[in-house]
Chain A
Amino acid sequence: MSVERADVERIAELARLRLGDAELDRFTVQLNGILAHMDQLAELDAEAAEAESQAAPEAGAPLRADTVGPDALRRPPSEIATDWKHGFFVVPRLAAQDRLAEGGDASGLEGADDDA
């Protein structure tokens, strides 16, 4: 299995990474070297593919009560948040919101499918 530069670009988009040209070239070469090593998995006995849980099931891993309680943080989220207002983490607007504000159509725009 080998990947092309365009594949790496697609994978980077899935992973929400923005790679420069030099990075794309470098990662394409490196990923192909690593995938060549991983391709030995394809040559292994199909018997290995039977479904079975990996770890022996634990006897007595107890379930906890289904109750809602305060989180275990000792400092409030506001102290670690980059931007916090009225109990919310504040983030930049969706691009779609800007376009709507200008009277345009939100569909197909960058960020239009993002959840806020």
Chain B
Amino acid sequence: MTPDVFKRSLDEIAQSVAAGETTASALLDVVEREQARWEGGEIPLHAFLSFGGDNARAAAQTVDASTPTPKARGPKPLLGVPVAIKDNLCTLDYPTTCGSRILEGYVSPYSATAVERLEAAGAVLVGHTNMDEFGMGSSCEASAYGPTRNPWDLARVPGGSSGGSAAAVAARLVPLALGSDTGGSVRQPAALCGVAGLKPTYGRVSRYGLVAFASSLDQIGPLAGSVGDVALALEIIAGQDPLDATSSAVPSGDYAASARQGGGLDGVRAGVPRQLAVDRLEPDVRGDWERSLARLEELGVRLVEVDVPALEAATAVYYVLANSEASANLARFDGVRYGRRSRDASTLTELYHRSRSEGFGAEVKRRILLGTFALSSGYHEAYYDRAAAVARALGRELAAALEGTDVLLSPASPSAAFRLGERSDPLTMYLSDVYTVPANLAGLPAVAVPSGVSAEGLPLSLQLVGRAFDEARLLRVAAAFEAAADFRRPMLPVAPTQAPPEAPV
């Protein structure tokens, strides 16, 4: 079996397992062969931090041991499908490091609800994917275990922080991966890697077992080769969870059916915020954006200009709120109960200082400092309280814009995939998130859909933002756009010819 099998939809792969045409073990063999190919090249892809092993093989054998029948398919819509999990999603008996040295050696004593739901649907977990440390980054360069590369061009980043998940799907190592999205960390790497990626409405998917970065912004989201597959994955992981008090009681939907609905989009109104500043986009991104709008109009969509003034402050708001919450959430990593403990500490205070300073990377330290400052006495009114107020204003403005429209549109990223080491200034990196953070701040669902390629052959994507808990409509529109865009993801070469770039410090 060739990796062509992962050009098929999740549904087709599961059906072939149920029909006995293939087995979960055979699919795992394909994944392992492809992983060896991508790691054996001159520049390893490095999508995974922990891969395969006894856990994956045992899971595949468990699936195969149950008699595969079309009936077995019914309650297990992902029967035998190999999936990858971002390394901040706790998985029983798997190393779960969040891309950080401070959790080096930590093996999770439980599984996240989203992970358990995928397993209950028959999926076979093949490993944990690389990520920017604790979700803090937009390039996967901030992983303590080395960067993941972009399969389209190994000298470039896959985006972040779910860079490993995006790269694994783009390279056809797996047909489905889970990531997490706090300010764009599913959508931006999906865009840079030319795959579909969704951030659900806040509360749509349980955060139980997701190592917290910013608890009011984090959501787990799927990355896959198509909007239809993203929709199916969402259907499986969505729904209230008593273990997550922020998970919503709003009933989840038949998202896969919504995505399959097809047809034209006559009568659909799409809002285009006046504040997108598209004149500042790279020419290729702007050209693709304008073509995407034209395609939507051909499908019957009516474009409506909307006014969202608070959008201009969204990144500033995000970096205050997210880092403030992160500084609190990461206080638990103190070397006491789990993870890395400094060997040099002779007092408890020294234990905290040394373990954290030795265990955290520069980006994490920087964000903890920012967040601690924004919450500190004398400054929290000017920073945290004000950012929270502006976030509420942004939420109101987006909700108002969505009253008169069905979806809002923007490019998913202001640029195509950039080169490793190109964005050494932290602020420049933060501005990569300009189009994605508003959906997190407002708790709205948003999806990145590949729309074209740049002059250099790098993927470009459109972002669609929907109303809260209206993923059905969002995914229907996204799937219709996807069909019209006809983005072709090639089978990528094994031995890329680019010279090895300088590794970033």
Q: Which chain A residues lie closer than 8 Å to B313 at the CB level?
A: 40-41, 44
Partner among A56, A72, A114 whose Cβ is within 8 Å of the Cβ of B110: A72
Per-residue CB contact flags for chain B residues 330-355 toward chain A (1 = under 8 Å, else 0) read 01001111110100011111111110
Residue in B110, B335, B356, B387 whose CB lies within 8 Å of A17: B356
- Asked whether A54 lies within 8 Å of B392 as measured between CB atoms, the reply is yes
Please encode chain A, from 52 to 67, with 1 for each CB lying within 8 Å of some chain B CB and 0 for all others: 1111101111101000
Q: A16-B331, A37-B427, A74-B92 are in contact. Are A44 and B390 (CB under 8 A)?
A: yes
> In the assembled complex, which residues on chain B have CB atoms less than 8 Å from the CB atom of A114?
348-349
Interface contact A16-B352, CB-CB below 8 Å:
yes
Query: By the criterion CB–CB under 8 Å, are B353 and A34 in contact?
Result: no
**Which of chain B's residues has its CB closest to A58's CB?**
B248
**Smallest beta-carbon distance B353→chain A, Å:** 4
CB distance from B403 to the nearest CB of A (A): 13
User: How far is the CB of B320 from the nearest CB of chain A, in Å?
Assistant: 6
The residue on A at minimum CB distance from B339 is A82
User: How would you classify the secondary structure of chain B's contact residues: helix, strand, loop or mixed?
Assistant: helix
The A-contacting residues of B in range 182-203, CB under 8 angstroms, are: 202-203
A30-B426, A31-B366 known; A93-B389 Cβ under 8 A: no
Q: Assess whether B242 is interfacial by the CB under 8 Å rule.
A: yes
Q: A34-B370, A34-B427, A41-B316 are in contact. Are A17 and B353 (CB under 8 A)?
A: yes
**How many of B's residues come within 8 Å of A, CB to CB?**
76
Q: How far is the CA of A103 from the CA of B348 in the complex (A)?
A: 20
Q: Which residues of B contact A58 (CB under 8 A)?
A: 203, 248-250
Taking the complex as formed, is B455 at the interface, i.e. its CB lies under 8 A from any CB of chain A? no
Contact of B376 with A by CB under 8 A: yes
Asked if A49 contacts B389 (CB within 8 A), the reply is yes
Complex alpha-carbon distance, A47 and B111, angstroms:
44
Q: In the complex, A92→B248 CA distance in Å?
A: 42
Q: A18 to B357: give the CA distance in the assembly, Å.
A: 6
Check B109 for interface membership: any CB of A closer than 8 A: yes
B395 within 8 A of A: yes
A41/B392 in contact, CB under 8 A:
no
B360: interface (CB < 8 Å):
yes
Are A38 and B366 CB-contacts (below 8 A) given A91-B351, A92-B351, A111-B347?
no
* Interface residue? A100 (CB, 8 A): no
Q: A101 in the interface, Cβ–Cβ < 8 Å?
A: no
| Residue among A30, A44, A80 facing the most chain B CB atoms (10 A cut-off) | A44
Q: Which residues of B contact A18 (CB under 8 A)?
A: 353-354, 356-357
B38 within 8 A of A: no
What residue of chain B has the Cβ atom nearest to residue A43's Cβ? B313
Cα distance A95–B345 in the bound complex, in angstroms: 11
CB distance from A52 to the nearest CB of B (A): 5
A4 CB to nearest chain B CB (Å)? 12
Q: Is A73 among interface residues, defined by CB-CB distance under 8 A?
A: yes
Chain A residue contacts of B272, Cβ below 8 A: none
Q: Are B109 and A80 in contact (CB under 8 A)?
A: yes
Interface residues of B in 89-114 (CB under 8 A from A): 92-93, 106-107, 109-111
Residues of chain A contacted by B382 (CB below 8 angstroms): 1, 41-42
Beyond A37-B316, A55-B443, whether A49 also contacts B369 by CB under 8 A is no
Min CB–CB distance B229 → chain A (angstroms): 28
- Bits for A1-39, please: 1 = Cβ < 8 Å to B, else 0: 101000110011011111100010001001101110110
B425 within 8 A of A: yes
Which chain A positions have C-beta within 8 A of B356? Answer: 15-18
Bound-state CA distance A95–B346 (Å) is 8
Q: Which of A30, A62, A116 has the most CB of B within 10 A?
A: A30
Taking A41-B320, A74-B110 as contacts, is the C-beta distance between A111 and B348 under 8 angstroms? Answer: yes
Say yes or no: A81-B352 contact (C-beta < 8 A), given A38-B319, A48-B393.
Answer: no
Q: Are A33 and B443 in contact (CB under 8 A)?
A: no
Tell whether, in the assembled complex, residue A73 and residue B350 are in contact, meaning their CB atoms are under 8 Å apart: no
State the CA gap A77–B203 with chains docked (Å).
29
Q: CB distance A91 to B348 under 8 Å?
A: yes
Set of chain B residues within 8 Å of A30, measured between Cβ atoms: 366, 426
- In this assembly, does A79 line the interface, its C-beta being within 8 Å of a C-beta of chain B? yes
Contact of B372 among A14, A23, A55, A116 (CB under 8 A): A14
Alpha-carbon gap, A80 to B385, bound state (A) = 37
Residues of B within 8 Å of A111, CB to CB, are 347-350
Q: How far is the CA of A3 from the CA of B369 in the complex (A)?
A: 11
Question: Which of A40, A55, A60 is most buried by chain B, counting CB atoms within 10 A of its CB?
Answer: A55
Complex CA gap A60/B248 in Å reads: 8
* B370 in contact with A17 (CB, 8 Å): no
Nearest CB to that of B386 among chain A residues? A41
Do the beta carbons of A31 and B373 come within 8 Å of each other? yes
Min Cβ gap A22→B in Å is 11
What chain B residues lie within 8 Å of A48 (beta carbons)? 310, 389-390, 392-393
B106–A80 CB distance below 8 A = yes
Does B368 belong to the interface (CB within 8 Å)?
Answer: yes
Question: Which 6 A-B pairs rank lowest in CB-CB distance, beginning with the nearest?
Answer: A75-B109, A48-B393, A49-B389, A18-B353, A95-B347, A16-B352
> Could you list 15 further interchain pairs (A-B, Cβ under 8 angstroms) beyond the known A35-B373, A44-B390, A47-B393?
A1-B379, A14-B376, A15-B369, A18-B354, A31-B369, A33-B425, A37-B319, A41-B382, A49-B386, A54-B443, A89-B337, A95-B346, A95-B347, A110-B347, A114-B348
Show 12 A/B contacts (Cβ-Cβ < 8 Å), sorted by A: A12-B369, A44-B386, A48-B393, A49-B385, A52-B392, A79-B109, A80-B106, A81-B337, A81-B338, A89-B336, A95-B346, A111-B348
